[in-house]
Structure formats: C-alpha cells, structure tokens
Amino acid sequence: MKVFCGALIACAMLAGSAARAADAPAGTIDATITIHADRPGATIAPEIYGQFAEHLGHLMYGGLWVGPKSPIPNVRGFRKDVVEALKRLGVPVVRWPGGCFADQYHWRDGIGPRDRRPVRINTTWGGVEETNAVGTHEYMDLVGQLGAKAYIDTNVGTGSPQETKDWLEYLTSPSHSELAQLRRKNGRDAPWRIDYVGFGNEPWGCGGDMRPEYYADLYHRFAAFAKTPDDAKPLKLAAGPYDDKTELTEALMKTNSFGDMDAITIHHYALPTGDWSHKGAAIGFPESQWMSTMQAALKMEDFIRAQTAVMDKYDPDKKVGLDVDEWGNWYDPSPGSNPGFLEQQDSLRDAITAALNFNIFQAHADRVRMTCIAQVVNVLQALVLTDGPKMVLTPTYWAFMLYKPFRGATDLPVDVTSPNYALDGATLSAIHASAARTAAGGLVIALVNIDPHRAAHIAATIAGASVAKVSGTIITADTMDAHNTFSRPDVVKPQPFSAASVSGGTLQVNLPAKSVVVLQLQRCFDSSPRALVALPQSAVAGRRAEGRLPE
C-alpha cells in the first residue's frame, strides 16, 4: 500500500523508538484511545468559544469599561489591557446585556449623551445603581474592537414586541426612518450587523416565571415583529431550559411551524455541593469537591443529549441549533465581596472543567453551534480578573487559548478506554479526549486527565491516518486549587509539552495528573478511499493535481 504525506513534512514513522514517550511515573495508569480520522463529523463552530458580558458586579464597570477620562489606559472607555487580552484569544461572539439583567433592560436608557442617561436600580444584581454609561453604541464599539459577533438579548420579561422591533430598526436600518435618523444623531451613520438576537432569558425563572406553553407563544409573537433588512437577518434564539428539563424545549419545537427559530438555548452551572445556598469555595476546597465539580461539569453531556432527543423528534435534519449561552462553575462569592456581584477566584479546577465542556460541545457540534461561558470578566468562571488598574488572566483564559486550533475544524469520533478516578465511592473515567481535523489537513487532539494524583500513559491509534510529527501544550499545576493572582500571575499558564512521540504507528503520550494537553499533529495518509476522506476535499484535489495522490 502506498503512503502519501502532507506537504509540510517528510513521512518518518519513528518505528523502533521506545514504547513510551518517556519513562512513566510510578503509579501511572494506562489508557487507550482510537481516533477515527476516517469518519469525519460536523464542523466545530468557532462560536462554541463565545463570551457573556452582563451588567453584573464589576464585569462591565471596572472590568471592561472605565470611561474615556479614566487614568487606566482605554480606547473610547474600554480598558486596553482587557480588550487586548481578549483580542489575542480571538473572542468570536459576546452576549449582552444579560442574563437576568436583559429582562429589566430598556435599550432607550442607553443611547444619547451619557451624562443625560437615566440612572436605574439593578434589582437583579446587588441593588446597585445602573448608570447606563454602557449602552447600545458602546457595546457595538466593544464587539468592533474585539472583531466579535454581536449577540443582543432582548427584553421579554418587562418589555414588549414593539420595543424589540424598534431596537432592531435602530440598530440595522439603512433607511431615513425616525429611528435610523436617531441613530445617526447619536453618532452612528451606517447600520450595524447583529448576528444573534435572543428573546428573553430563563423564562422559567428570573425572566418571568412563565409556563413553557406561555413563553413559546410569546417567543413567536416577539420573533414575528423582529424585522431587519433581508440582507442582514440575525439568527433568532429562543430562551430555553436548564439542565435536563425538556418541557420548554418540547413546547418550543412543537410550535415551530413558522420556522422562525434558529436555535434554542440551554443553561447549566456546575456547583460543587449541588446546594445553591452553600455552593462551595473557589479555592481551598477538599478533594471531594474536586470530584463533585467534575461530576457536575460532565453532566453537560447528559443534558445536551436529553434536549437533542426532544429536538430530533421535530427536527431530524438538525436545522435548529442548541446553544449553551450560559455555562460554567458557580461557587460561593469571594469572602468580603458583595454577594450580588458573584465574584470568585478561578483555579486549575476551572481550566480542567472548561476543557471537559469543550470536548462535549465539540462532540455535539451537529447541534451545538454557539456557547457563552459565564462570564468574561470578574464574574463567576471569569477569563480575566481586574482590581483598579491591575489585571490577571485566569486558568480558564488559558484553557480557551489552548483550544483555539479546534475552531472551524471537523470533529472526529474518539473512543476512550480508561481506568477510573475514584473517591469515596464515586467514580469517573480518568481520561477524556476530543479530536478534530483542521482545514489544513492536520490533526488536533485534546487530552484531559481529571485524576489529581496519577499520571496516565496513553496509547492512541488513528484510523485512516498516520502520525508523522507531534507537538503540544499543557496546562497543569502542583495543587488542585492553583490559581493566578495580581502578584503571581503565572502560576497556571500553558507550557510546551514534549512527553508525546510516535512509536510503531501509535501515538504515545505521558499525561501528568490533573492536566489538559492539546497536541497538534502532522500526518501521513494511506491511499485507500476510506482513508482519503480524512483530508479536506480541497487538499485532496491539490495533491492529485501535483501527482502526489492517485486519481
């Protein structure tokens, strides 16, 4: 059988090298993985790595916005250091203004001169004054600075279809209507592009305590009047359920005869204790809460499957997406902070659970096309923490950075056989994995070891392709609650990973305890038709034109 190699490398299989990438540590577990490069799945939408920016605590004010007159360096009021960090990450989409805040937000409060905007009370988050200094123009400036897509969440709880209709006209109309002229008066001539519009938030709870059937009717009423130009239509998102509650999903899918719904949203938060009154500490936690947080995070898979099963009954072609626009770990507030501000530290535990969620989202990329972690700065599982002029990047930020190669790649099925991580009668598979084929024809593999004590030796075979070269990056630390502070910002940070090699056609990896590793592989392909599907069609055509693949 002939073997054909990628254009960037020579095909060398390193046969005869040691059976393991390096001497495995004592107590190492053994796991095996099969990656099916010959069975490509759905494209992994870049929007799976989206962000959420609510008017909550010190997220918007102090975290992102400091105002144009602040001594903290800023661009039109948004602090440079945070924006630059998020730009390096390549944030694909930002959801705004909520969350629960969306259902008490009236967009006209946030336009016009900032010194004339009304001050409201944020009754949802801390009872503090909301100055409306950040409104429509500021948010659109932020997503413009980031190069991100705009996702506005409209007010269904205390608003009206007319209010939503007017906001979309203000944002998107190129005409000389009264609202388009008002936008021009406020400093924006050209219309904006809105990529997503959500209708309310958590209608089963803070969005109005509604029955599923009632919200489903409301959704279609609001969506019917949400008009935009034909060449600038946003995706319309219905506010869906949480966890495995499927009644709202059923009501929405059953009434989608008008085809006016592009996705249903779902929320899931992982609590170490499962008790909303005492959720558990962000740092200084016992190993039992490491285990319980992993268990809670991994339930995302079951919840996505439960919602998908309902959606498949009405939509077998998967035209309607399932967007997880709130997810993450939720702990007790940092000691001494305002409990309504939801401040918490972020540790290695959060990087591990973020990776687990990414693996789950990627495996369900046929339905899951956008997600937003809660939240981007200073709130819940934040990517960035600030204190006045100081800023630090969290382990969760670095988990997002590690997974960048998956964006736009094609998901590949992965079979994992692994010993369990066990504690006090609870057990979980120690090793979790995800794989994808990049647009350039390479492979990217994510490996997660949730066992906080034992390293793992992993032998991975790749059906339909052979590995020619491997490089990697790792996130790990000495302790389960290792975290970055303003004085020690680099305790948890990606490092080069060299404990991976190729032996006899098998990828060998020594994965440390409590770690996330992302490997990038260059490959060689055999000439069988089954194997060739692992290459993008453009790459196949190019190689055939160059005489390096058979017709």
Show which residues are catalytic.
202, 326
| CA–centroid distance for 528 within its chain | 36
The count of other CB atoms within 10 Å of the CB of residue 40 is: 19
Cα–Cα nearest to 48, from 412, 369, 366: 369
Report whether 235 contacts 50 (CB < 8 A): no
Residue 139 CB partners (closer than 8 Å, separation 6+): 94, 96, 97, 150, 152
Residue 84, SS3? helix
Q: What is the 3-state secondary structure (H, E, C) of 530-541?
A: HHHCCCCHHHHH
Q: Rounded to whole angstroms, how far apart are CA atoms 65 and 83?
A: 10
Instruction: State how far the alpha carbon of 504 is from the alpha carbons of 18, 34, 376, 501, in Å.
Output: 9, 15, 44, 10
Cα–Cα nearest to 212, from 164, 245, 257: 245
Residue 213 CB partners (closer than 8 Å, separation 6+): 251
Report whether 128 contacts 100 (CB < 8 A): no
279-297 as b/e: b if 16+ CB within 10 A: bbbbbebeeebbbbbbbbb
Report whether 66 contacts 388 (CB < 8 A): no
Report whether 515 contacts 449 (CB < 8 A): yes
Element (H, E) at 168: helix 161-172
Amino acid making up residue 220: H
Cα–Cα nearest to 26, from 519, 476, 513: 513
Q: Which residue has the tokens 């009405």?
A: 314
